[in-house]
Amino acid sequence: MKARYLSVLICLILFTSCSQNPVSEFDRLGLEEITIDELQQGFQSGSYTITEVTEAYLERIEAIDNNGPALNSILELNPDAVSIAQQLDQELKEGITRGPMHGVPVILKDNIDTHDKMSTTAGAIALKGSKPLQDSYIVTKLRESGAVILGKANLSEWANFHSSFSSSGWSGMGGQTRNPYDITRNPCGSSAGSGVAVSANLTILAIGTETNGSIVCPSNNNGIVGIKPTVGLLSRSGIIPISFTQDTPGPMTRTVKDAAISLGAMVGVDDSDSKTQASVGHSYTDYTQFLDPDALSGKRIGVYKAPLGGMWRVDTLFNQTVRFLKDNGVTIIELDEISEESPGSASFNVLLYEFKDGLNKYFESLGPDSPVKDLDDLIAQTLADSVEMKYFDHDLLISANKKGDLNSQEYKDALEKLLRITRDEGIDKVMDEHQLDAIIAPTGGPAWKTDLTNGDNFGIGSSSPSARAGYPNITVPMGNIDGLPVGISFFGRAWSEPVLISIAYAFEQKTKARIVPQFKTQIH
């Protein structure tokens, strides 16, 4: 904590320069890169209150997200954030603490329902002003844990399942989110605003969602930690869906420990999400018990080689990391492939069917005042909107609407093939054959230039094996290329969050590869 105050002390001594550049409340409180543990220490010591911290983050969002570099990561602020903070301060005065999340600022991706004064839109103009009838399950859990919800994050519209091509981080509601390392570059998505907000120190924690890459890719591009849990560990009820089979929310933070703390706060069996029934006996309310700085020693880890070869500088960084792991006691097994047969077409078919089914059910859940009746209505509204149609075609909405219901044989066949190839004949098979604790791959490459004309240029990625199987994946900063962060992914079999967290934490503690963004306009 002391290091954070150094610049403030110098500024106070050199008061003439301070008068020209007054210290913000955020800087005065020393909140940059602060962890949940450090925040709680400050609350307990009386260094600051929850209200002061909440107000400081809100001021920073106004200064940096709306003005300054104009990152455009936040769609809406919670008008009740300060009053919630005041209530939580009162609880502390009375000797009541709800646990490690008490008073922790949180940003939610704007496809996660809140029953308050904020809307939930998935970035779509058609849902502007939409008010869900209740909190999503994970928001209920966050509120119970004492978290302060600061606002809603911008995202790739409809979690990036809407057009034949798109620019990650763009939505009709919010426009284009910008990368804090170089604002001309892309933050990736679909949890773009969540990743940017955490990296730029606009919050301690954000909640993203992933169907395939939407947590790990923005975590990669924004130099943070992201956990994509096993599908069913966290409830999806009250989250605007793409896929019942692949969707999951997950925490996005600057450290593995903060991600572990927040993951434990959201677990639970939800009667409204049948997938969560499978988490019984596999979930923990405290994942910090698995944080072991020596967890690398003795581990057997597979190297998923398919993403390699796309960019030599990423390959070089990753190969250096593999040597580092070997030097720290890891046995490395190279994997040319995980599944012999490609599950891509089966996964895409499943997504189309489940997107139609899930969206229609979600619109119905909004009640008689829903601004969208069904997918037919959404398509009509979208195609008639000049903002929505300025850059992208929204063809995936139309393709999904052409599908039948979930009793269709085509859907059943695709789902069976998807799960068989990715699980029994995929991750489970190779991990059993080689007795692996985890599999690693580069999460992605450095952020590409944002291009609203041609769309995204992902380059490389490794999210598909775990995403399509519904299995967990954790990405951690691995290093940087020309000041742009690059992450490493640790993934494995279902419910292996404890071992993945331990490995990711040990790697993080030994490498400390996270770099703080400087909001440049050009790096190269």
What amino acid positions are annotated as catalytic residues?
Answer: 109, 190, 214
**Residue carrying structure tokens 């600061």:** 150
- Say if residues 51 and 82 touch (Cβ distance below 8 Å): yes
446, 463, 388, 443: which is closest to 186 by C-alpha? 446
| CA R_g for the chain | 22
Residue 232 CA: distances (Å) to CA of 236, 237, 462, 495: 8, 11, 21, 9
Phi, psi of 42 (to 5 degrees): -65, -40
Residue 474's beta-bridge partner residues? 227, 490
Cβ-proximal residues to 194 (8 Å cutoff; 6+ apart), any chain: 73, 107, 108, 109, 153, 155, 206, 207, 208, 218, 252
DSSP class of 215? T
State the Cα torsion 122-256-212-144 to the nearest 10°.
-40
- Say if residues 410 and 349 touch (Cβ distance below 8 Å): yes
104, 116, 102, 190: which is closest to 153 by C-alpha? 190
Distance CA 451, CA 182 (A): 14
DSSP class of 450? P
State both tokens at 87.
């209530």
